[in-house]
Amino acid sequence: MRTTTTKKTDYLGEETAAAVVRALVPSKMTAAVLYGSEDLRIEKIDVPSLAADEVLLRVRLALTDGTDLKVWKRGYHARMIQPPAVFGHEVVGEIAALGAPESDRVDQTDQATSTAHSRANR
């Protein structure tokens, strides 16, 4: 028995596949936005557009660490974050969208983690 695999875009067409992704990814997302010292607000913000080498994660779990606490207390981090800015860097989730529709490195069914000090799923 011989099996073959077909990429989504092979049978949907590039434009249709892009439209499906747009329909599945909302235009707004929930984010923690740091405005200053101890001023962190949960807001609905626009989903960012993606560069070819980026992915959009649908976050399922977000954690904080000691650096997050220090940044929240100070209201900024000289090298990492200047308010107002989306806050947080340690998350786990599924890939919701790919910057480049064809990728041999990741697939939209992959799960991923993201931290400021490691490369995820390489």
pLDDT in tens, 55-112: 888 888 888 888 889 999 999 888 888 899 998 878 888 888 888 766 666 665 565 6
Yes or no: say if 26 and 35 are a contact pair by the CB < 8 Å rule.
no
Q: Which domain holds residue 33?
A: 28-114
Tell me, yes or no, whether 22 lies in a domain: no
Which stretches of 34-83 are DSSP H helices? Answer: 66-74
How many domains are contained in the chain? 1
- Per-residue pLDDT of 29-69, as tens digits, reads 999 999 999 999 999 999 988 888 888 888 888 888 888 89
Q: Does some domain include residue 102? A: yes
CATH number for the domain that contains residue 80? 3.90.180.10
Asked, for residue 72, whether it belongs to a domain, the answer is: yes
Nearest-angstrom CA–CA distance, 72 and 79: 14
14 belongs to a structural domain: no
Residue 37 lies in a domain: yes
pTM (two decimals): 0.66
